[in-house]
Amino acid sequence: MGPIQSLDDLFGVLRRRGLLIALISIVGIAASVFLASLQPNSYEAAAVLQVETPVVTDGTDDPTGTSTAQFLQLIEQRMLTRENLIAVIERHALFAAAEGMNIDQKVQLLRAAVRFQSVARVAQQAFGGGAGVSAMIIFARFEDPEQAARVANDFAQSILDESAAGQAARSRETMRFYLEEEARVSDEIVALEGRIAAFKNANSAALPDAGTARENELLDLDAAIRAIDQSLVGLLGERTVLQNAGSLRAVEQRQLETLVAQIDVLNAQKAALQAQRDALAASSARTPEIERELSAFDRQLRQLQDQYDVINRRLAEAETSQRLEERNQAERFTLLERAIVPLEPSGGRGRKLMAMGVIASLGLAFGLALALEMMNPVLRTRGQMLRQLDLSPVITIPDLPLRGSPAGGRAGAEKGPLMRLRDGLPKPMMLAAGIVVFLVVMAAAAIGAISA
The tens digit of pLDDT for each residue in 2-38 reads 556 566 666 767 777 778 888 888 888 888 887 777 6
pLDDT at 72 over 90: no
Comparing 197 with 70, which gets the higher pLDDT?
197
With 50 as the cut, is the pLDDT of residue 450 above it? no
Contact 131, 125 (CB under 8 A): yes
pLDDT grade, residue 440 (50/70/90)?
low
Q: What is the mean pLDDT of residues 264-289?
A: 78
Higher pLDDT, 401 or 104: 104
Flag the least confident range among 76-90, 204-218, 331-345: 204-218
Q: Which of 114-118, 164-168, 268-272, 418-422 has the lowest mean pLDDT?
A: 418-422
pLDDT band of 228, cuts 50, 70, 90:
confident
Greatest mean pLDDT among 58-72, 123-137, 184-198: 184-198
pLDDT digits (tens, 9 = 90+) for 241-255: 777 766 667 777 787
Name the amino acid, one letter, at 224. A
Judged against a pLDDT cut of 80, whether residue 309 lies above it is answered with yes
Confirm if 130 and 35 have CB atoms less than 8 A apart: no
Sheet with 43-52: list strands edge to edge: 114-120, 133-142, 43-52, 332-337
Residues contacting 249, CB < 8 A, separation 6+? none
Average pLDDT of 374-397? 65
State residue 99's pLDDT score.
77
84-141 pLDDT, tens digit per residue, is 999 999 999 888 877 788 999 999 999 999 999 988 766 545 444 455 678 889 999 9
State residue 53's pLDDT score. Answer: 67
CB crowding 158-178: b at 16 or more within 10 Å, else e? bbbebbeeebeeebeebeeeb
Most confident of 80-89, 288-297, 342-351, 409-418: 80-89
pLDDT of 385 above 60: yes
- The answer to whether the beta carbons of residues 324 and 54 sit under 8 Å apart is yes
Residues 6+ apart with CB under 8 A from 160: 49, 333, 334, 335
Question: Band of the pLDDT at 358, cuts 50, 70, 90?
Answer: confident
